[in-house]
Amino acid sequence: MHSNHNSSLQWYVLYTSPRAEKKAEMRIRELDVEVYLPLHKSPRKWSDRIKFVDVPLYSSYIFVHTTHENLYQLLKINGIARIVFFCGVPAVVSPKEINAIHEFIDKTEGLNYTYEINDELKIAFGPLKDMCGKVKKIEKKYIVLIIEQIGVTVVANIDQVIKNKIVST
């Protein structure tokens, strides 16, 4: 079977320790094993700003392209908790499904600000913190909101606002 070695490579799913996906990906890559950790931009709130950071599309899951035999060696890597099984055997993901994830990430890249006209947004910080408004206009770096509570239209940096349902009060 050595002559047809590549045919035994398959995409498997590993489950990582909580928040260990990026470090586990790096450690697997260092072993020259093809690994895929789909990331997307997600808003995170600091005391003074909202920042979009890369987070795993699937929390605690990472895809590896390896042989069935080498799969078990990856369990020794710090941050890898276990192999994901389906029907009693390691779960295999088809190349078509991996490509679909790649395409989804590519198509949604740059769409960090999925705000639309008339969306209800909350100002996350500044003098108008916690005021809600409807989107009137969207530009590359700023957004125009109508704040009906006080009857004004304001301009806010796009990283100062967040969809109302995401920010807890």
One pLDDT digit (tens) per residue for the chain, 169 residues: 333 445 589 999 999 999 999 999 999 999 999 999 999 877 666 655 666 788 898 999 999 999 999 999 999 999 999 999 999 999 999 999 999 999 888 876 755 556 778 888 888 767 777 888 888 887 767 788 888 877 888 888 776 777 765 434 3
What's the pLDDT at 136?
87
Q: What are phi and psi of 118, to 5 degrees?
A: 75, 0
Predicted TM-score (pTM) of this structure: 0.63
Q: What is the SS3 assignment for 140?
A: coil
